[in-house]
C-alpha cells in the first residue's frame, strides 16, 4: 500500500484559538462549579437563597447546568477539537476569522445566558432554557463552526479520517439538528416565546433533545477527545481500532432513540416508552465497548501513572464513563425508573458523568495541552496529584450521598402499609430525612471546586513562567492516503467526508423520525371526551411566572400510574391534561411534591402564605420564599399578545377573550385578591404577581371534563 505523497510542506497550526478555548474552559468551569456549590448549599440550608430572586434555586440551577454543559464542557470540546483536528488532518483550520467568530460568539452567548437566566427569561426546557434571540445566535455560531470545520476537512492532507474526527462530525451534525428542532418557537416578546409543540409532543421532543444533548454534547465529542488524547498521553495506539469503528456506529445509531427513558410511566404513549427503554439497555454494549477500548489502550503502560500523573485523570474519566453508562441503562428499566425517577439518584448519576467523565477528561486534556501550547513544563506535578485526589474524593462523596439520598427518598415515597395507606403521607418527612446527605453532597462539591482552584493556580504558574515570545514552529506535513488504489468500500468511506457525514446524519435521523413523527399527530392520542379547557388569561400569566421562577426545577406535574403515587397525588395524569401546555411542565425532579392536581387542594390564603414563607405552612420546608411576588405587578397588557400566539398555535380561545384578555385577567385577579383579603392577607394584591400565580396553581388538575 503506497501511502506517501511527494510534496513536503511547512505549515503553522492555529494554536492561538486552542489557547483561547482552553482559558475560557477554565474561567467558565470555575463559574459553573461555584454556581453548583451555591445551589447545593441552598438545598441543604434554604436561607442561602437569600430572598433574592436572581439567585433563588429555581433560577440558579438552570444557570449552573447551562454553565457546566455549554460553557465549561463546550469550551473544552472546542479546545480539543481545534487542537486535535488540525493535527489529524494535517492542515491549519480553514479560516482564522471563522475560528475567532466562533470563539467570541460562543462567549457572548454564554454571557447572555448568564444575564438572562438570573433575570428569569427562560423557556423552562431543561438545557434549552435560553430564549429565542439566543437560540438564533447559537444556531448561527454553530453554523460558523460547522462551515469552518467541514472546509478544514475538505482541505485536509490526510485522506483517511481518524475515528476521533468521526465523533466530531457526528457531534456537529447532531447538535445542529437537536438544537433547531427543539427550539422551534413563536416569539411573544423580545425575550419570551412559546414552543410550537404541546404536551406529549413537547415532552418527547424536549427529552429527545435533552438526552441527546448528553449523548452528542457530553459523550461523542469527549469520546473523540479520548480517542486522541489517551493514545497521545500514553504514547500507544488505541487498543482496537476495529472496536472503535463498531463503537462509533453503534453508539450514534442507538443513542438517538433513548430519550423517552426520561418519560417512563408518564402519559407518553406506551410504545415510545418501551422503545426508549429497549434502546437504552442496548446502549450498554457500545458504551462499554468504548470504555474498555480506552482503558485497554493503557495496557502495558500503567507504569506511566507514576511518571505521567495526568493519565490518572483519563483513567478516572473512563472509569466514571463506564459507571455512568452502566447506571444509565439500569435506570432506564421501567421498574428501576419507578424508584429512581424524580429522586436525587438521577442527580447523582448525572454528576458521575459530568464531574467524573467530562470533568476529569477535560482536566487531563488541559494538563496535556497547556505545557505544549505554551512550550514549557507543567509548574507542579504534585499539585496535579493533589488536584486529582481531592477531586476524586469530591466526586465520590457527591455521587454516593445522592444515590443513597435518592434510593432512601424513593423507597419512602413508595412505602405502603398493610392497610393500603402511605407510610409517609407527608412529603416533607421524606425531605427532612435526606437533608444531612445534601450537606455531604455540598462537601463533595466543595472538594471538587477546591481541586479545580489548585489546578487554576498550577496552570497560572505554568503559563506565567513559560518563556515569552517563542515563535510558533512550522510543522512539516505531507499529503498521505490520496494515492491509494483500493476497491474496498470501507476505505473509500473513510476518505469521503461528505458521504460519511450524510451517513452519520442518516444514522441519527432514523430514530428521530420514527419516535417524533407519530406524536406530531397529537389528535390521534387525545380522547375527544376528555378534552380540557384552556387556561384563563390570568392563569396563563401565572403559568409564565411559574416558568420564570423555575418551579419546574423542583416540582413535577405528572402523576405516574403507580399505586403510591396515585394515593399521594390523585389519579394518574392523562395526555389531555397537558394538551395545551406550551411548554410542558412534567418536570424531572421532585425536591418538592408533584403539583399536577394541587388545584383546589388548599385555599388561596394557604398558597399566599406558602409563597411568602414556606415554613409558615410547612415546617422544615427547604423551599425558598418568594416575597417579591407580592410586590411586583403582573403585566396584564401583554396577555392579548400571549393569547393570540396561543390561538395561532391551536389553543381554542374566543376572539373576545383574546381582545379583552387583560380585562378578563384583572376581573379574575380581583376575585382572588378579595378572597385573600377577606381571609386576612394584605389589601391591594389584585395587580400583584402572586395572585396570577395562585390562579394558575388553583387551576392545576381542574381543567379536564372529568373534574
Partner 1 sequence: MKQLGLAYFTDTHLTAMGLLIFFCFFVGVLFWVYRKSSTPLYHRMEQMPLLKDGE
Instruction: Summarize as ranges the residues that interact with partner 1 (CB under 8 A).
Output: 1, 3, 13, 84, 87-88, 90, 158, 160, 162-164, 227-228, 231-232, 235-238, 241-242, 245-246, 249-250, 253, 271, 372, 473-475, 477, 488, 490-491, 494, 518, 521, 524
The distance of closest approach from Cβ of residue 290 to partner 1 in the complex, given in angstroms and rounded to an integer, is 15
Residue written as cell 432512601? Answer: 408
CB of residue 161 vs partner 1: minimum separation in angstroms?
9
Q: In what helix (H) or strand (E) does residue 272 lie, and over which residues does it extend?
A: helix 270-296
- Which residue lies nearer to partner 1 by CB, 9 or 677? 9
CB of 475 to partner 1, least distance (A): 4
The helix-helix angle for 132-154 and 74-89 (nearest 10°) equals: 10
Q: Which is nearer to partner 1, 117 or 234 (CB)?
A: 234
- To the nearest whole angstrom, how small is the minimum distance from the Cβ of residue 505 to partner 1? 17
* CB-CB contact of 556 with 413 (8 Å): no
What minimum distance in Å lies between the beta carbon of 238 and partner 1?
5
Comparison of 231 and 599: residue with beta carbon closer to partner 1: 231
CB 127 within 8 A of CB 588: no
d(CA 629, CA 517): 40
Closer of 163 and 360 to partner 1 (Cβ): 163
In the chain, % helix, strand, coil (3-state, to 5) comes to: 65, 5, 30
The residue (of 237 and 684) whose beta carbon lies closer to partner 1 is: 237
Could you tell me the smallest distance in angstroms from the CB atom of residue 491 to partner 1? 6
Q: HSE of 543 in the Cβ direction (CA atoms, 13 Å)?
A: 26
Pairing state between β 192-195 and 185-189: antiparallel
- Nearest distance from C-beta of residue 242 to partner 1, angstroms: 5
Of the pair 6, 235, the CB lying nearest partner 1 is at 235
Q: How far is the CB of 231 from partner 1 (least distance, A)?
A: 5
Q: What is the b/e burial string over 611-635, where b = at least 16 CB atoms within 10 angstroms of the residue's CB?
A: bbebeebbeebbbbbbeebbeeebb
> What is the DSSP track for 202-230?
HHHHHHHHHHHHHHHHTTHHHHHHHHHHH
Gap between the Cα atoms of 337 and 329, Å rounded: 10
Q: In terms of CB distance, is 11 or 498 closer to partner 1?
A: 11
CB-wise, 293 or 337, nearer to partner 1?
Answer: 293
Shortest Cβ 623–partner 1 spacing (Å): 42
Strands 185-189 and 4-11: unpaired
Closest by CA position to 290, among listed 349, 215, 362, 351? 215
Nearer to partner 1, 69 or 233 (CB): 233
Between residues 303 and 524, which has the closer beta carbon with respect to partner 1? Answer: 524
Give whichever of 177 and 475 is closer to partner 1, judged by the CB atom.
Answer: 475
Q: How far is the CB of 655 from partner 1 (least distance, A)?
A: 32
Distance CA 495, CA 160 (A): 5
Give min distance, CB of 282 to partner 1, in A: 10
Least separation in angstroms between residue 85's CB and partner 1 is 11
CB 91 within 8 A of CB 155: yes
- DSSP code string of 4-49: EEEEEEEE----HHHHHHHHHHHHHHHHHHHHHHHHHHHHH-GGGG
Nearest residue (CB) to partner 1, 177 versus 285: 285
If one counts every other C-beta atom within 10 angstroms of the C-beta of residue 425, the result is 10
Distances from the Cα of 466 to the Cαs of 24, 80, 373, in angstroms? 19, 21, 10
Contact 482, 159 (CB under 8 A): yes
Least distance in angstroms from the C-beta of 372 to partner 1? 5
DSSP 471: P
455-456-461-464 Cα dihedral, nearest 10 degrees:
140
**H-run or E-run covering 194:** strand 192-195
Nearer to partner 1, 268 or 559 (CB): 268
Task: Calculate the alpha carbon distances from 197 to 11, 14, 517, 526 in Å.
Answer: 49, 42, 12, 15
Amino acid at each position: 500500500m503506497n501511502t506517501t505523497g511527494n510534496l513536503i510542506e511547512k505549515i503553522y497550526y492555529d494554536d492561538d484559538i486552542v489557547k483561547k478555548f482552553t482559558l475560557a474552559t477554565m474561567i467558565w468551569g470555575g463559574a459553573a462549579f461555584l454556581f453548583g456549590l451555591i445551589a447545593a448549599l441552598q438545598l441543604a440550608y434554604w436561607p442561602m437563597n437569600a430572598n433574592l430572586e436572581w439567585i433563588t434555586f429555581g433560577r440558579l440551577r438552570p444557570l449552573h447546568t447551562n454553565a457546566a454543559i455549554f460553557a465549561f464542557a463546550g469550551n473544552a470540546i472546542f479546545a480539543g477539537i481545534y487542537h486535535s483536528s488540525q493535527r489529524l488532518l494535517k492542515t491549519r483550520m480553514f479560516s482564522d476569522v471563522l475560528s475567532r467568530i466562533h470563539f467570541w460568539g460562543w462567549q457572548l452567548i454564554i454571557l447572555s445566558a448568564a444575564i438572562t437566566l438570573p433575570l428569569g427569561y427562560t423557556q423552562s426546557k431543561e438545557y434549552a432554557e435560553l430564549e429565542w434571540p439566543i437560540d438564533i445566535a447559537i444556531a448561527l455560531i454553530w453554523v460558523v463552526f460547522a462551515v469552518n470545520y467541514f472546509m478544514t476537512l475538505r482541505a485536509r492532507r490526510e485522506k483517511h479520517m481518524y475515528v476521533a474526527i468521526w465523533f466530531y462530525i457526528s457531534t456537529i451534525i447532531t447538535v445542529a439538528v437537536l438544537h433547531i428542532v427543539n427550539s422551534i418557537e413563536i416569539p411573544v416578546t423580545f425575550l419570551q416565546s412559546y414552543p410550537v409543540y404541546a404536551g406529549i409532543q413537547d415532552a418527547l421532543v424536549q427529552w429527545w433533545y435533552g438526552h441527546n444533548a448528553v449523548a452528542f454534547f457530553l459523550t461523542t465529542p469527549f469520546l473523540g477527545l479520548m480517542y486522541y488524547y489517551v493514545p497521545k498521553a500514553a504514547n500507544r495506539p488505541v487498543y482496537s481500532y476495529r472496536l472503535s469503528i463498531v463503537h462509533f456506529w453503534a453508539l450514534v445509531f442507538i443513542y438517538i432513540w433513548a430519550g423517552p427513558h426520561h418519560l417512563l410511566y408518564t402519559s407518553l404513549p406506551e410504545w415510545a416508552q418501551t422503545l426508549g427503554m429497549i434502546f437504552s439497555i442496548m446502549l450498554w454494549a457500545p458504551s462499554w465497548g468504548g470504555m474498555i477500548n480506552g482503558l485497554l489502550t493503557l495496557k502495558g503502560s500503567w507504569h506511566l501513572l507514576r511518571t505521567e500523573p495526568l493519565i490518572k485523570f483519563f483513567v478516572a474519566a473512563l472509569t466514571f464513563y463506564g459507571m455512568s453508562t452502566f447506571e444509565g441503562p439500569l435506570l432506564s428499566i421501567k421498574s428501576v425508573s419507578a424508584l429512581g425517577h424524580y429522586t436525587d439518584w438521577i442527580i447523582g448519576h448525572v454528576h458521575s458523568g459530568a464531574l467524573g467523565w467530562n470533568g476529569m477528561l477535560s482536566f487531563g486534556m488541559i494538563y496535556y495541552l497547556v505545557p505544549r501550547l505554551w512550550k514549557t513544563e507543567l509548574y507542579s506535578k504534585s499539585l496535579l496529584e493533589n488536584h486529582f485526589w481531592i477531586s476524586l474524593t469530591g466526586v465520590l462523596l457527591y455521587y454516593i450521598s445522592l444515590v443513597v439520598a435518592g434510593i432512601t427518598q424513593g423507597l419512602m415515597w413508595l412505602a405502603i402499609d398493610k392497610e393500603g395507606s402511605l407510610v409517609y403521607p407527608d412529603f416533607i418527612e421524606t425531605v427532612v430525612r435526606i437533608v444531612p446527605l445534601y450537606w455531604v453532597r455540598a462537601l463533595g462539591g466543595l472538594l471538587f471546586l477546591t481541586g479545580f482552584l489548585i489546578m487554576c493556580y498550577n496552570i497560572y504558574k505554568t503559563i506565567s513562567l513559560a518563556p515569552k515570545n517563542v515563535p510558533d514552529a512550522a510543522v512539516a506535513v505531507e499529503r498521505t492516503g490520496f494515492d491509494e488504489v483500493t476497491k474496498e468500500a470501507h476505505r473509500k468511506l473513510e476518505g469521503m467526508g461528505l458521504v460519511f457525514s450524510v451517513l452519520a446524519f442518516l444514522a441519527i435521523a432514523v430514530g428521530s423520525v420514527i419516535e417524533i413523527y407519530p406524536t406530531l399527530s397529537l389528535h390521534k392520542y387525545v380522547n375527544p371526551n376528555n378534552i380540557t379547557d384552556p387556561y384563563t388569561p390570568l392563569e396563563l400569566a401565572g403559568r409564565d411566572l411559574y416558568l420564570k421562577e423555575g418551579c419546574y426545577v423542583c416540582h413535577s406535574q405528572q402523576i405516574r400510574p403507580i399505586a403510591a403515587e396515585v394515593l399521594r397525588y390523585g389519579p394518574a395524569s392523562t395526555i389531555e391534561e397537558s394538551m395545551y401546555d406550551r411548554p410542558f411542565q412534567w418536570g424531572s425532579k421532585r425536591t418538592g411534591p408533584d403539583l399536577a392536581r394541587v388545584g383546589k387542594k388548599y385555599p388561596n390564603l394557604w398558597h399566599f402564605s406558602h409563597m411568602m414563607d414556606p415554613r409558615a405552612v410547612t415546617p422544615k420546608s427547604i423551599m425558598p420564599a418568594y416575597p417579591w411576588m407580592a410586590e411586583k405587578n403582573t403585566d396584564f397588557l401583554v396577555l392579548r399578545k400571549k393569547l393570540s400566539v396561543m390561538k395561532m398555535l391551536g389553543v381554542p380561545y374566543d376572539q373576545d377573550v383574546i381582545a379583552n384578555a387583560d380585562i378578563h385577567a384583572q376581573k379574575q385577579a380581583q376575585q382572588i385578591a378579595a378572597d385573600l383579603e377577606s381571609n386576612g392577607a394584605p389589601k391591594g394584591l389584585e395587580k400583584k404577581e402572586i395572585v396570577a400565580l395562585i390562579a394558575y396553581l388553583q387551576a392545576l388538575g381542574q381543567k379536564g371534563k372529568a373534574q
